[in-house]
Amino acid sequence: MKKTRLIKIILKRTGALKFLTTYIIIFAGVSIGVWIVEPNIKTPIDSVWYCFSVATTIGFGDITAVTILGRAMSIFLSICSILIIAVVPGIITSYYIESTKLKEQESIAKFLDDLEHLPELSKEDLQSLSEKVKKFNSK
Protein backbone atom coordinates (compact mmCIF):
# COMPACT_ATOMS: atom_id res chain seq x y z
CA MET A 1 0.00 0.00 0.00
CA LYS A 2 2.91 2.30 0.74
CA LYS A 3 4.29 2.06 -2.82
CA THR A 4 0.88 2.75 -4.31
CA ARG A 5 0.56 5.87 -2.21
CA LEU A 6 4.08 6.97 -3.21
CA ILE A 7 3.30 6.56 -6.91
CA LYS A 8 0.08 8.52 -6.45
CA ILE A 9 1.99 11.34 -4.73
CA ILE A 10 4.60 11.38 -7.50
CA LEU A 11 1.92 11.44 -10.18
CA LYS A 12 0.13 14.27 -8.42
CA ARG A 13 3.25 16.41 -7.82
CA THR A 14 4.53 16.03 -11.35
CA GLY A 15 1.20 16.61 -13.06
CA ALA A 16 1.18 13.13 -14.59
CA LEU A 17 -2.09 12.39 -12.80
CA LYS A 18 -3.75 14.92 -15.10
CA PHE A 19 -2.28 13.08 -18.10
CA LEU A 20 -3.65 9.76 -16.84
CA THR A 21 -7.06 11.22 -16.05
CA THR A 22 -7.25 12.81 -19.50
CA TYR A 23 -6.19 9.53 -21.08
CA ILE A 24 -8.89 7.58 -19.24
CA ILE A 25 -11.49 10.10 -20.43
CA ILE A 26 -10.17 9.81 -24.01
CA PHE A 27 -10.21 6.01 -23.78
CA ALA A 28 -13.82 6.01 -22.53
CA GLY A 29 -14.87 8.54 -25.18
CA VAL A 30 -13.29 6.59 -28.01
CA SER A 31 -14.84 3.37 -26.67
CA ILE A 32 -18.29 4.95 -26.77
CA GLY A 33 -17.63 6.53 -30.17
CA VAL A 34 -16.43 3.29 -31.71
CA TRP A 35 -19.41 1.42 -30.26
CA ILE A 36 -21.77 3.93 -31.88
CA VAL A 37 -20.02 4.18 -35.26
CA GLU A 38 -18.79 0.65 -35.97
CA PRO A 39 -21.28 -1.92 -37.26
CA ASN A 40 -19.02 -4.85 -36.21
CA ILE A 41 -19.03 -3.81 -32.56
CA LYS A 42 -22.32 -4.81 -30.99
CA THR A 43 -21.75 -4.31 -27.24
CA PRO A 44 -19.92 -1.78 -25.04
CA ILE A 45 -17.72 -4.62 -23.75
CA ASP A 46 -16.64 -5.42 -27.32
CA SER A 47 -15.85 -1.75 -27.80
CA VAL A 48 -13.67 -1.62 -24.67
CA TRP A 49 -11.95 -4.84 -25.82
CA TYR A 50 -11.30 -3.32 -29.24
CA CYS A 51 -9.95 -0.09 -27.70
CA PHE A 52 -7.76 -2.11 -25.34
CA SER A 53 -6.23 -4.02 -28.24
CA VAL A 54 -5.66 -0.72 -30.09
CA ALA A 55 -4.23 1.03 -27.01
CA THR A 56 -1.78 -1.77 -26.27
CA THR A 57 -0.92 -2.02 -29.99
CA ILE A 58 -1.69 -5.74 -29.85
CA GLY A 59 -4.40 -5.56 -32.50
CA PHE A 60 -5.81 -9.07 -32.20
CA GLY A 61 -7.91 -8.63 -35.34
CA ASP A 62 -10.98 -10.34 -33.92
CA ILE A 63 -12.75 -6.97 -34.09
CA THR A 64 -11.73 -4.36 -36.66
CA ALA A 65 -12.81 -0.84 -37.52
CA VAL A 66 -14.33 -0.58 -40.98
CA THR A 67 -15.59 3.01 -41.07
CA ILE A 68 -13.33 5.99 -41.68
CA LEU A 69 -14.44 7.63 -38.42
CA GLY A 70 -13.81 4.42 -36.48
CA ARG A 71 -10.36 4.10 -37.99
CA ALA A 72 -9.57 7.75 -37.26
CA MET A 73 -10.62 7.29 -33.61
CA SER A 74 -8.44 4.16 -33.46
CA ILE A 75 -5.43 6.08 -34.76
CA PHE A 76 -6.06 8.89 -32.27
CA LEU A 77 -6.34 6.40 -29.38
CA SER A 78 -3.17 4.55 -30.39
CA ILE A 79 -1.18 7.82 -30.55
CA CYS A 80 -2.50 8.89 -27.13
CA SER A 81 -1.66 5.45 -25.74
CA ILE A 82 1.90 5.53 -27.04
CA LEU A 83 2.40 8.98 -25.53
CA ILE A 84 1.00 7.92 -22.15
CA ILE A 85 3.12 4.76 -22.13
CA ALA A 86 6.21 6.87 -22.84
CA VAL A 87 5.53 9.89 -20.62
CA VAL A 88 4.20 8.49 -17.33
CA PRO A 89 6.95 5.91 -16.66
CA GLY A 90 9.50 8.54 -17.70
CA ILE A 91 8.11 11.00 -15.17
CA ILE A 92 8.09 8.41 -12.38
CA THR A 93 11.65 7.28 -13.21
CA SER A 94 12.95 10.84 -13.40
CA TYR A 95 11.35 11.73 -10.07
CA TYR A 96 12.81 8.61 -8.45
CA ILE A 97 16.31 9.34 -9.77
CA GLU A 98 16.15 12.95 -8.56
CA SER A 99 14.94 11.77 -5.16
CA THR A 100 17.81 9.28 -4.93
CA LYS A 101 20.35 11.95 -5.91
CA LEU A 102 18.97 14.30 -3.27
CA LYS A 103 19.27 11.64 -0.56
CA GLU A 104 22.81 10.87 -1.68
CA GLN A 105 23.77 14.55 -1.59
CA GLU A 106 22.29 14.90 1.90
CA SER A 107 24.32 11.95 3.16
CA ILE A 108 27.50 13.30 1.53
CA ALA A 109 26.87 16.71 3.07
CA LYS A 110 26.39 15.11 6.51
CA PHE A 111 29.56 13.06 6.07
CA LEU A 112 31.60 16.13 5.10
CA ASP A 113 30.15 18.11 7.98
CA ASP A 114 31.14 15.33 10.40
CA LEU A 115 34.67 15.34 8.98
CA GLU A 116 34.95 19.11 9.45
CA HIS A 117 33.90 18.79 13.10
CA LEU A 118 35.88 15.71 14.14
CA PRO A 119 37.07 17.11 17.49
CA GLU A 120 33.47 17.86 18.49
CA LEU A 121 32.11 14.35 17.75
CA SER A 122 31.37 11.86 20.50
CA LYS A 123 33.06 8.48 20.63
CA GLU A 124 29.91 6.81 19.23
CA ASP A 125 29.72 9.30 16.35
CA LEU A 126 33.40 8.70 15.56
CA GLN A 127 32.81 4.94 15.59
CA SER A 128 29.82 5.36 13.26
CA LEU A 129 31.85 7.56 10.93
CA SER A 130 34.65 5.00 10.92
CA GLU A 131 32.19 2.23 9.97
CA LYS A 132 30.83 4.34 7.10
CA VAL A 133 34.37 4.92 5.78
CA LYS A 134 35.15 1.19 6.01
CA LYS A 135 31.93 0.31 4.23
CA PHE A 136 32.65 2.88 1.51
CA ASN A 137 36.20 1.56 1.02
CA SER A 138 34.95 -2.02 0.72
CA LYS A 139 32.79 -1.07 -2.26
- pTM for the predicted model, two decimal places: 0.68
3-state secondary structure 32-72: HHHHHHCCCCCCHHHHHHHHHHHHCCCCCCCCCCCCHHHHH
pLDDT per residue as tens digits for the range 87-119: 888 888 888 787 777 677 777 777 778 778 888
Under the banding of pLDDT at 50, 70 and 90, the label for residue 1 is low
pLDDT per residue as tens digits for the range 34-81: 999 999 999 999 999 999 999 998 888 889 999 999 999 999 999 999
CA distance 60 to 54: 9
